Amino acid sequence: MASRTIFNPTKCFPPHPLLSRHLSTTTFSPARKICPLLEIVPIDGRGFGTIATQEIKPYTLIFSESPVGIAQYNPLDRYQEQVSIAAAHSAMSFGQKAGFDSLHEGVRPFSTKEMRIWNANCFMYDSVGSNSTSAVFLDMSRINHSCIPNAEYDANFSKNRMVLFSTQRIRAGEEVTINYGHEYMLKAAEERNAHLRYIYGFTCTCKACVDPSFKSLSDKRRRMLKEDFYCGMHDHSTAPDFSAKALGIDEPSSMKPGSLTQYIDAGFSDGINIFRPGTIQLMRRSLKLKFDEGLGGESFLSAAFTYASTALIIMHKRMRDRKSRLPVDPLTDLQRCMQLLLVSERLMREIKPREDKGMRKMREKKENVMGMWNSVILEEMTVAECRETLAKILSKEPDPFSGSSAYRA
pLDDT tens, position by position, 24-33: 344 456 888 9
Convert the pLDDT of each residue in 259-277 to its tens digit. 322 322 333 344 566 677 7
Beta-carbon count within 10 A of 7 CB: 16
- Check whether 66 has a pLDDT greater than 90: yes
Convert the pLDDT of each residue in 203-236 to its tens digit. 999 999 999 999 999 999 999 999 988 888 777 7
Contact 155, 162 (CB under 8 A): yes
Identity at 163, one-letter amino acid code: V
- What is the model's pLDDT at position 24? 36
Query: For the chain, what percent of residues have pLDDT higher than 70?
Result: 81
Please, what is the average pLDDT of the chain? 82
Q: Which long-range contacts (CB under 8 A, 24 or more apart) does 381-387 make?
A: 381/342, 381/343, 381/346, 383/57, 383/59, 383/346, 383/347, 383/350, 384/57, 385/343, 386/342, 386/343, 386/346, 386/347, 387/57, 387/58, 387/59, 387/347
Convert the pLDDT of each residue in 71-128 to its tens digit. 998 878 888 999 999 999 999 999 999 999 999 988 888 889 999 999 999 998 876 6
Structural domains for the chain: 9-180 (2.170.270.10), 259-407 (no CATH)
Beta-carbon count within 10 A of 77 CB: 11
Contact 204, 250 (CB under 8 A): no
- What is the model's pLDDT at position 27? 47
Convert the pLDDT of each residue in 316-370 to its tens digit. 887 777 655 544 454 457 888 999 999 999 999 999 987 788 899 999 999 999 8
pTM: 0.81
